[in-house]
A and B are shown apart, each in its own frame.
Chain A
Amino acid sequence: MTIDTGIEGQEWHRLSPRMLLVHPVHEVVRQIPVLIGSVVLGSATGNPMVAIGVLALTVGFGVARWFTTSFRIGPGELQLRTGVLARKVLSMPRNRIRSVSTDARLLHRLLGLTVLRVSTGQEARGDAVFALDAVQAEQVPRLRAVLLADSLAPAQDQEATPGRVLARWQPSWLRYSPLSFTGLAMIVAAVGLVYQVGAGAALQDSSIAQSGVDAAERFGVAASVVTAVIIVLLASVVLSVARSLLTYGNLVLRRDSEVLHLEHGLLRVREHTFDMRRLRGGTLREPLLVRLFGGARLDAVMTGVGGAGEASILLPPCPKATAEAVLTELIQRPDIVTGPVLGHGSAATRRRWTRALALPAIAAVVLLVVSVPVWAWVAWGALTACCALLAFDRARSLGHRVGGGWLVAQAGSVHRRRDCIAAPGIIGWTVRQTLFQRRAGVATLIAATAAGVKQYQVIDVPAALAWSIAAQASPWVAESQWADAPQSRA
């Protein structure tokens, strides 16, 4: 590529000098336990120089990180040298670069810095992540153009044409978040942390705990428990909404010809760039609690981008119509996104019901054997009703749709998902049958792709249909020497 940016070539570049401010702060934050220990040690020995010495060492280490980190964008390779004591060089062939994402935490944003992550699509963890931490924000578009030049030739003129916005975050999207479990998980984690550092014991003896116990005695145990549950639930709702707001606030999904840009976050801004030519479809996910409010979330199915987790998110929980409209916009096939699916027949429905009702059946046997109070039977009735609803919903969701070069697989109730996969991206088929599936005459058809979660299942299709679905999606299956198709050969 012939973009003259002055950043390509054989010389090594340092990261932004402003990191001389950020690194020491991060280093100090990271070493807080050691610093506290040194302060304690200093006051115990009566020598305050210990704490000052440790602090100076930590800051010095942070400063040294800037001097020892450098990167080079060579003609064929991208290299990153890091490490103060143990030196390390990470190399990445430039033609393997699949996506560039950016991430700016609060401190970075205040200083106008951005972390730039380069991904080849392979799973990279810990030290193997290729991250430039950090460069100046105004350098990012230029760096991105240079880094993606090999895979995205027409990306230079993207500043000239700002592209079309596919979706923009609305405050009303927050209505899908109160019922998620993230808030509860955060509370549990916080309580665990408090007890781990030993503050729990201190809290037990404190006057706050004592007054709490007094209050509980005054109002009665039942009332106190109810109050506590309500408080925890309220806190969980508030935390869930706040997290959703901070993570997805200001989300903008934009398409510039062949590139998809996703930007989100209020305090910490994250930006992902996807290559549209690697898009192999999308997954509409409707978790039960989101579906109850008519919402859905959208994941990209893309080669070189991990299928689960944050890497592939296109839209967080949002109105289903929005998610469907965006996916339709991306793949240009409204029938694939919203069209009805073909059910899998009575055998599949029966299997949903037997599975869901197995637990209540076992529970009923147990309840009959051991004598239990009446309320246990009421609970059993409620459980059975829930399981029946689950079975009904799972059976209703199950279905597939194939044709026109696309495969759609829909399944699930609590985690309902609709996978829309482009057939040219499917590079292998598996028909799997357990003993029970063979007896019921159904099979699970698995499409293997290099994109997304790598395998997409069509659950419990009638066994006779399995290969014809595969053949309809992939002509090479129908044309293989094992194909037995009397109607087409005649």
Chain B
Amino acid sequence: MNLVDPAQRPSRKAPLVWAIGAAIPWFVLVVGQLVWFAVDHRTWWPHAVAAAVTVLGVALFVVVVPLWRYRVHRWDVSPEAVFTRSGWLVQERRIAPISRVQTVDTERGPLDRLFGLANVTVTTASSAGAVRIVALDSEVADRVVAQLTDIAAIGAEDAT
């Protein structure tokens, strides 16, 4: 048997937010390189190498990776379990039963707040079993949290 991949996608804004998040450190690096270029005129080839590496890095981490992650990321919540797929080079599919859920956390970073996104983390008694649903629209995240806490409250097991 196999598990069908979960159906729900993250927010449409997710690739944009991931791209901006990745672009910020690269932008700092580019500024640093421009300063270095303005100050140091001795040889040209270290600048060329650094610029090439930066262009490749930006293309990979700001353009390719966010789109790749958006293609991979999926999530779903059923009355019995939470199921996610995530990653890009290393891909993970993770399932946890709701009867064993201990806490449901919502987390919004500065960029997430700007674009109205939220991340939901569902933790279980195992430190290796936390399920993270990233980059949801805020209202979707609120709905998921309400749904999860509702179901989890029914179970009264020890959760270990």
Which A residues lie at the B interface, using CB under 8 A?
A: 278, 303-304, 425, 427-435, 438, 446, 448-451, 454-455, 464, 467-468, 470-471, 474, 476-485, 487-488
Q: Which residues of A contact B39 (CB under 8 A)?
A: none
CB closest residue in chain B, given A471: B1
Q: How close is B126's CB to chain A, nearest CB, in angstroms?
A: 4
Number of A-B contacts (CB under 8 A): 113
Task: Pick 16 A–B contacts, CB within 8 A, sort by A.
Answer: A427-B124, A427-B125, A430-B93, A431-B92, A433-B92, A434-B89, A448-B126, A451-B160, A455-B128, A455-B129, A480-B80, A480-B95, A481-B78, A482-B6, A482-B78, A483-B4
Q: Which residues of B contact A434 (CB under 8 A)?
A: 89-90
Beyond contacts A438-B91, A450-B159, A477-B3: 15 other A-B pairs, Cβ-Cβ < 8 A, are A427-B100, A428-B94, A430-B95, A431-B92, A431-B94, A433-B90, A433-B91, A435-B89, A446-B128, A476-B81, A478-B1, A482-B3, A482-B4, A484-B1, A484-B4
Check B43 for interface membership: any CB of A closer than 8 A. no
Known: A430-B93, A431-B92. A480 touches B3 (CB 8 A): yes
Check B96 for interface membership: any CB of A closer than 8 A. yes
| Inter-subunit contact A480/B160 (CB<8 Å) | no
Q: Which residues of A contact B76 (CB under 8 A)?
A: 482
Q: How close is B32's CB to chain A, nearest CB, in angstroms?
A: 31
Q: How close is A489's CB to chain B, nearest CB, in angstroms?
A: 10
Q: How close is A200's CB to chain B, nearest CB, in angstroms?
A: 44
Residue of A303, A429, A479, A481 near B160 (CB, 8 A) is: A303
| Inter-subunit contact B2/A468 (CB<8 Å) | yes
Check B14 for interface membership: any CB of A closer than 8 A. no
Which B residues lie at the A interface, using CB under 8 A?
A: 1-6, 76, 78, 80-81, 83, 89-97, 100, 124-129, 131, 159-160
| Inter-subunit contact B3/A483 (CB<8 Å) | yes
Which 8 pairs from chain A and chain B are nearest by CB?
A448-B129, A428-B129, A455-B128, A450-B125, A485-B1, A428-B96, A448-B126, A450-B160
Known: A434-B89, A454-B127, A467-B3. A428 touches B95 (CB 8 A): yes
How far apart sit A303 and B129, CA to CA, in the bound complex (Å)? Answer: 14
Q: How close is A99's CB to chain B, nearest CB, in angstroms?
A: 14
Residue of B93, B124, B126, B160 near A431 (CB, 8 A) is: B93
Residue of A429, A464, A479 near B80 (CB, 8 A) is: A479
